Amino acid sequence: MKKRWPITILYRAFSSSTTSTTASFPLKHVKKSNFDSALSSLRHHIQAADFVAIDLEMTGITSAPWRDSFEFDRFDVRYLKVKDSAEKFAVIQFGVSPFRWDPLKQSFITHPHNFFIFQRQELPLDGAAYEFLCQTTSMDFLAKYQFDFNACIHEGVSYLSREQEDKALKHVNSTYEDESLDSWHSLKEIRDTHLFNIPDILFAERMKDRLSEWLGGLLRNRDGGSEVQPSFNDSKQQFETIFFKMRPAISLNGFTSHQLLLIQLVVRKHFKDLAYLRVSGENSCSQNVIVYIESESDKKMLMKEVKDEQKIDAEMSIKASIGFRHVIDLLSSEKKLIVGHNCFLDIAHIYSKFFGPLPLTAEEFISSVNKYFPHIIDTKILLNSNSILQQRMKKSSTSLSKAFSVLCPQIALGSKSTHLALQPSVKVEVEVDDIRSSNWNSGVKHEAGYDAFMTGCVFAQACSHLGIDFKQQSSSENLAHNEKLREHVNLLYLSWTNGEIINLSTGNRTSESLASNKRKNHYPKILFECIVIVWGFPSHLKAWDIRECISKVYGPTSVISVYHVDETSVFVQFSRAEMVSKFLDLKESLDRNNDPISVLHPLAKLLEGGNTCAASYETYKEICSSTVSKVLFADQAKAVGIKWKTKLVESSDKTKEHESLRKVKAVNSDPSCGERTKNKNFDDVPNDSSYSQLSSDEIIDSFYTREAKQI
Amino acid sequence: MVPKFKPSPLRIRSFCTKTVQQNPHHWPIKQITKTNFNESLSEIKNHISSSDFIAVSLQNTGSFSSPWHRVSTFDTPETAYLKAKFAAERFQILQFAICPFKLQASKVIAYPYNFHLFPRDELKMGMPSYSFTCQTSYLTAMAKEGFDFNTCIYDGISYLSEAQESAAKVRMGNPMAVDHATKSSSSPALSVADTVFIERVRSRVKHWKNACTDSDIKTEAALVTSLRKIVLGGEQFGSRPSMTIDVCSERQVQLVLKMLEDFSDVLVPLIIPAKGGGTQAVRAVLTSSDEDKHLLKRELQTFEFEQNKRVRGFREVIDLISASQKPIVAHNSLNDFTFIHSKFLAPLPPNMNEFICSLRLAFPQVIDVNYLLKDIGPVKKMTNISATIAYLKNRFFAPIEMEIPNQANENEGKIHGHNVVKICQLFGKLCSILKITPDAIESSDDFLASAINRYANIFYSLPGSSQEPTNEEIRGWTNDKRKVSCEDVVFLWGFRERISAGILKNMLQGSHEVFAEAFNVRMVDRSCAIVVFGKPGLSNTFKNVMNSKEVSGPLREMVSDGLKAAGYETYQRVCSSGLWESALADALDKALASHNCLSEAAYETKQSEIYLSNELINLAEL
């Protein structure tokens, strides 16, 4: 209660001095120090919530300019781009805002939480170091909004994904279960041979004497009952008598590792009733002890005891490292309706950070996401796909802050009195650490917690416009099953750029229908089999030059569009699919014959410099699936291609490969079943006599790598 | 041990400008961010020009992602360079500490600065870097030292490399004044077309010039003035009228410039660069008088100067160091200078030779303290400067007094960049032990030059201490001084994970007759080990056996379980083709797969030698 006072007074003072009733108290920031308490309170809020709004802040979006989202992205390419982004960048802030309808107050109550998260390498998992990419412009953007990087790196909550946890647990199990890997047995043979120099022998003798002295004293003590052995006390700094697992023991301090090794040898050689143990003590420093054992079975028992304890410790530390994933597990297990704004990338991040590696295809991804989160609503789609809401939005942009200020002016601007009469508004009350306000404004945009709060408010208001009456809504009923929402649930923008929407529950893809009036499609429908990607051409050539160059060969209507992927590469969209192969054939023959005719050919301008490469859309997809990210597409292609091509004939190789692909496609006239096409292709190529042995080997090899990638 | 030098509190108080600091945590290191960068530059310049040496030390966002990416004893100079290159291209420098210092007897007078860097895209051109990688452990370690990431990201100094700067200038398309270099001295014979072109432009310029000077006299209606502008194609350059002359080739540029010389009393030519390089147009600016002309030229100069400063950012300091041609002292120089080259000079060349040539142009003398240490005796671990200093302190009496004239007035914030001062201290100690005494500096510059030259430009590799020295066999082997030819090294993988080198060796010993002779095994990472054969030729026998059908006995068993082997050339190919998989076994597999389609002849590897414990790369030998 005391704590609340200063803030409340501040709040009052603030609100009385201005006409608006906007409350301004800070967002609830969750860091390492207050994570446990925040988690337990959040657990209750989430369990009681009708829906939970989320938002993420990342260290970047695209790992290279050409990985940006384009209109020419086929859905599988789009997924690969999202996958690349989610795998490379880190999530540094996670906003969670559970919304609950309070029937007494006739308003929503929300508890926005702003988690700073930062994955530390707390467990010795495997050799590879944790690393993440930062996009310079994104970091600069965050800095502009005063993002607290110190809070994130110094005090961020760490986490383990489910996969990492499983791996770590398996590792622990194999370490403690597998007898043959017992660390002090395996090295014995090698070490035994090393006790040969005089100082070592002398030291070992001395240790032997001291140990037998201690042992003798111990046995006398047990039999006779005399007290402390005085002779042993002198060396107390090094030999300290303790009790270890209810057994008398010596704790060894201040020896070098070599000396400890010698002591270990002495114990094993000369003392049947002593056991040498290395245990990890408190604060993770290891402790070396020699324990008195009564029999071989006692020794086994002791070993087992120690091992079990260490195993439990190791498992405990793994459990302790789960950290922020508890929140995600909670969201998943409670099966709450998750609300995000344009959140396909966010979901991919959640998947890769907290569940496991992203699947290779969009289909697999969608079906597993649906398992973990059965109900997701994207407010951006909601606003664009419903005509009532579009009207409400007055055709303004559907960016989060814009939607928030248009739909929830009473919260965004604090202008409660003026707008109340005009539109029915859903009341939202914010509660942060026992402070409540119905007109809260923390004022910090692009802070994940606040963005999540805004998303939730937009959603609540949108629901009310859709005619959902929260007063009628019984608390037990899941909001996601409301018939007015049903058609919007589990739809996500695969790509906002071309308005492709994916349904998470069915896996169906649709193009945006309702909003088409807003979206001016200046590109005709894209047929991917008509597309060639060209890169490495002379840098002074622009899209127009390339179009002109190709049109000279195939006529003015042959090229529909030329689109710059980046400065080193273009998509050329032909009017007919067969022109792709014609073009690639021609290019290949021009590359091969360096005679005057090919120099004077209209295409020669494009091939100038000898580095121009061209391939079909499939190669583009393959390049996108690579984990490498070079800034320029031409460099990227080189970095990917080197793996299975001779540099010497790089450009013609590419054409050849796609020529073969195309041939197979012509036979197998169903291009959509990619998997079958490739298998067929794989069989066909070696029989094709038109290729030299060398190149067909390469082709097999290239398909081999692709197959491997797809498996 | 009695401390040899106690800082006298009296002395500190009485001479405020000169303080002797022995406690590293109180070293006054000036912290520089964007806010105080410009004002500090001239001071830094003075310190650099008056110093004998310049120590540098970098704080990066990471170094190696997987154990085998670390430069290790089994690396040749070439593979070591490729590993360093891979790191330098991905990670970022967040702090760059420099310390110009002087050696006077047993005293080091140091002027340390610590720059906070951030690759902010000041020009919105995706430069200096589109993105960079961070290693969590590095950031956590920095956080433990109290590093302020907010200061770094909000207020770090940006920069462009030399290569990026020239690219940026072209892309910005700012007009450039014509210097004498751009004017070609020889005037080629004029063709008819050239003459026509020149005369046409000349008449246009004359017309425009007259019109401009006319309109200065007459006062015209606004409409007439603007009409005239449209007709004549005149523009404004700042407050002065100007005219753009479009050109199609560099030759035309020369012609126009030559022609404009006739008007040089009032016209100043400027070159407008084209976006894709080359020249887009020539712009003639009309000045009213000779003074005005000089004024314009000065304006252009200051504009360019300011712009350069803005564009270069921190590289200004690198340029100062480079221009001073002073010897640079570093610790772990291969790592530091691959970073410096890639961030401030140009993209790293594909091989070590080119790298060293390119680097030497900018920094003629680089001294690695690790190499100086080599002359003193075997030091097992040289990665930690403080530990090395402590080691020397226990062994040699070479007291070094650190004097850091107090320059950091600001008490706010944590002081970072202690390493650079430690490098100075260590270097001072080493010089005194090795008798490269600073007295020699005064008496004979030549002596110093030769003494320093002995140590300069030797790029060290890190000792490969990724392995815990638990296994006696390996320790003994690593201490071995003999060179091992790459020929005798075989990489082995495909065995059970988390196996120890000792067990693997035991397994191999009985498996085939090649293992009857002396050989050594060492783990590179969890997935891969290297086997070194003592007797030449055995490695080939072994590789042949592995690839033949005759493989039998226990070895056959191991091969059936997945054991694979490859020679050193496969490893070299892994590094040169950038197969930086996280497990070396995967990388080797990929290299083998891609190799199968290549003709063997293309990859005849040169026989090179690796030095198992003497892992240095000497510039002189290359």
| B182 and B151 in a common domain | no
- Chosen for mutation from A57, A126, A180, A692 (greatest number of chain B CBs closer than 10 Å) is A126
Please count the helices (runs of H) and the strands (runs of E) in chain A: 31, 21
Q: What pLDDT does residue B448 have?
A: 53
Nearest neighbour of B121 by CB, restricted to A137, A639, A643? A137
* Average pLDDT, integer, range A514-519: 46
Q: Is B429 helix (H, G, I), strand (E, B) or coil?
A: helix
Domain ends where: B460, B486, B507?
Answer: B460
Q: Is B328 helix (H, G, I), strand (E, B) or coil?
A: strand
Number of independent structural domains in chain B: 3
Domain ends where: B460, B490, B507?
Answer: B460
| Confidence category of residue A669, pLDDT binned at 50, 70, 90 | very low
Contacts of A128 in chain B (CB under 8 A): 65-66, 582
How far does chain A reach from its first CA to its final CA, in angstroms? 59
Higher pLDDT, A373 or B5: A373
| B508 and B436 in a common domain | no
Contacts of B133 in chain A (CB under 8 A): 131-134
Q: What pLDDT does residue A354 have?
A: 94
Domains A4-160+323-517 and A528-710 share a fold: no
| Helices assigned H by DSSP within A18-97 | 35-48, 75-88
Nearest neighbour of A701 by CB, restricted to B130, B140, B597? B597
Q: Is B148 in Cβ contact with A705 (below 8 Å)?
A: no
| B342 and B251 in a common domain | no
| B401 and B318 in a common domain | yes
Q: Is B274 helix (H, G, I), strand (E, B) or coil?
A: coil
pLDDT in tens, A586-615: 888 887 776 777 777 888 888 877 788 888
| Domain assignment present for B304 | no
Nearest neighbour of A143 by CB, restricted to B64, B140, B153? B153
Q: What pLDDT does residue B437 have?
A: 59
* Average pLDDT, integer, range A337-360: 93
* Average pLDDT, integer, range A46-50: 91
- Chosen for mutation from A67, A154, A174, A286 (greatest number of chain B CBs closer than 10 Å) is A154
| Domains of chain A, residue spans | 4-160+323-517, 179-320, 528-710
Backbone angles phi, psi at A687, to 5 degrees: -80, -15
Model pTM score: 0.78
| Confidence category of residue A345, pLDDT binned at 50, 70, 90 | very high
| Domain assignment present for B622 | no
Q: Is A698 in Cβ contact with B578 (below 8 Å)?
A: no
Amino acid identity at A266: V
CB A568 within 8 A of CB A536: yes
Query: Rounded to a whole number, what is the distance in Å from the CA of B437 to chain A's nearest CA?
Result: 38
Higher pLDDT, B226 or A400: A400
| Domain assignment present for B306 | no
Query: Rounded to a whole number, what is the distance in Å from the CA of A625 to chain B's nearest CA?
Result: 16
Query: Rounded to a whole number, what is the distance in Å from the CA of B176 to chain A's nearest CA?
Result: 21
| Domain assignment present for B526 | yes
Of residues B1, B43, B47, the one with CA closest to residue B420: B47
| B445 and B557 in a common domain | no
Q: Which of A135-144, A589-598, B98-107 has the highest mean pLDDT?
A: A135-144
Q: What pLDDT does residue A648 have?
A: 29
Q: Is A631 in Cβ contact with B126 (below 8 Å)?
A: yes
Higher pLDDT, B212 or B381: B212
- Distance, CA of B283 to CA of B176 (rounded, Å): 10
| Confidence category of residue A54, pLDDT binned at 50, 70, 90 | very high
Q: Among A694-708, B120-134, B431-445, which stretch is predicted with the lowest mean pLDDT?
A: A694-708
| Domain assignment present for B365 | yes
DSSP state of B380: S
| Domain assignment present for B171 | no
Higher pLDDT, B431 or A7: B431
Query: Rounded to a whole number, what is the distance in Å from the CA of A521 to chain B's nearest CA?
Result: 28
Per-residue pLDDT for A632 more than 50?
yes
Per-residue pLDDT for A75 more than 70?
yes
CATH number assigned to the domain comprising residue B481: 3.30.70.330
Q: Is B491 helix (H, G, I), strand (E, B) or coil?
A: strand
* Average pLDDT, integer, range A265-282: 77
Nearest neighbour of A186 by CB, restricted to B118, B500, B525? B500
Of residues A552, A699, A528, the one with CA closest to residue A616: A528
What percent of chain A shows pLDDT beyond 70?
74
Per-residue pLDDT for B204 more than 70?
yes
Contacts with A593 (C-beta within 8 Å, 6 or more apart), sequence order: none
| Domain assignment present for B16 | no
Contacts of B503 in chain A (CB under 8 A): 186
Contacts of B66 in chain A (CB under 8 A): 127-129
| Confidence category of residue A284, pLDDT binned at 50, 70, 90 | low
CATH number assigned to the domain comprising residue B98: 3.30.420.10
Q: How many CB atoms lie within 10 A of CB A59?
A: 21
Q: What pLDDT does residue B481 have?
A: 44
Q: What pLDDT does residue A129 have?
A: 80
Per-residue pLDDT for A32 more than 70?
yes
In degrees, rounded to 5, the angle at the alpha carbon of residue A680 between the alpha carbons of residues A674 and A682 is: 100
pLDDT in tens, B287-346: 777 788 888 888 888 887 787 777 888 999 999 999 998 889 988 888 899 999 999 999
Contacts of B126 in chain A (CB under 8 A): 65, 631
| B513 and B417 in a common domain | no
pLDDT in tens, A207-224: 888 888 888 887 777 665
Reported ipTM: 0.76
Q: Is B525 in Cβ contact with A642 (below 8 Å)?
A: no
Q: Is A378 helix (H, G, I), strand (E, B) or coil?
A: strand
Nearest neighbour of A127 by CB, restricted to B67, B143, B472? B67
| B43 and B75 in a common domain | yes
Contacts with A156 (C-beta within 8 Å, 6 or more apart), sequence order: A31, A32, A92, A116, A117, A118
* Average pLDDT score over chain B: 76
Contacts with B109 (C-beta within 8 Å, 6 or more apart), sequence order: B101, B102, B403, B404, B405
| B455 and B408 in a common domain | yes
Q: Is A701 in Cβ contact with B596 (below 8 Å)?
A: yes
Which residue has tokens 């199968």?
B596
Query: Rounded to a whole number, what is the distance in Å from the CA of A205 to chain B's nearest CA?
Result: 22
Q: Is B594 in Cβ contact with A131 (below 8 Å)?
A: no
| Domain assignment present for B466 | no
- Chosen for mutation from B34, B85, B121, B131 (greatest number of chain A CBs closer than 10 Å) is B131
Return the CATH number of A4-160+323-517, one of 3.40.109.10, 3.10.129.10, 3.90.600.10, 3.30.420.10: 3.30.420.10
| Confidence category of residue A298, pLDDT binned at 50, 70, 90 | confident
pLDDT in tens, B483-525: 677 778 889 888 876 777 888 888 888 777 788 888 888 888 8
Q: What pLDDT does residue B11 have?
A: 39
Higher pLDDT, A437 or A106: A106
- Chosen for mutation from A63, A85, A134 (greatest number of chain B CBs closer than 10 Å) is A134
| Confidence category of residue B216, pLDDT binned at 50, 70, 90 | low
Per-residue pLDDT for B65 more than 60?
yes
Domain ends where: B267, B297, B327?
Answer: B297
Q: Is A133 in Cβ contact with B131 (below 8 Å)?
A: yes
Q: Is B150 in Cβ contact with A63 (below 8 Å)?
A: no
| Confidence category of residue B9, pLDDT binned at 50, 70, 90 | very low
DSSP state of B20: B
| B135 and B201 in a common domain | no
| B444 and B372 in a common domain | yes
How far does chain B reach from its first CA to its final CA, in angstroms? 45
Contacts of B68 in chain A (CB under 8 A): 127
| B440 and B414 in a common domain | yes
Per-residue pLDDT for A9 more than 60?
no
Of residues A338, A402, A347, A341, the one with CA closest to residue A376: A338
| B453 and B317 in a common domain | yes
Which residue range is the domain that position B154 belongs to? 22-160+313-460
Search chain A and give the residue with CA nearest B496.
A181
- Structural tokens at position A165: 């946890």
Q: Is A347 helix (H, G, I), strand (E, B) or coil?
A: helix
Of residues B506, B501, B504, B546, the one with CA closest to residue B524: B501
* Average pLDDT, integer, range A329-356: 92
pLDDT in tens, A448-486: 888 999 999 999 988 888 888 877 766 556 777 777 788
Nearest neighbour of B525 by CB, restricted to A120, A127, A698? A127
Render the burial of B352-370: b for 16+ CB within 10 Å, e for the rest. beebbeebeebbebbbbbb
- Distance, CA of B251 to CA of B188 (rounded, Å): 9
Q: Among A121-125, A181-185, A704-708, which stretch is predicted with the lowest mean pLDDT?
A: A704-708
Q: Which CATH architecture has domain A528-710?
A: 2-Layer Sandwich (3.30)
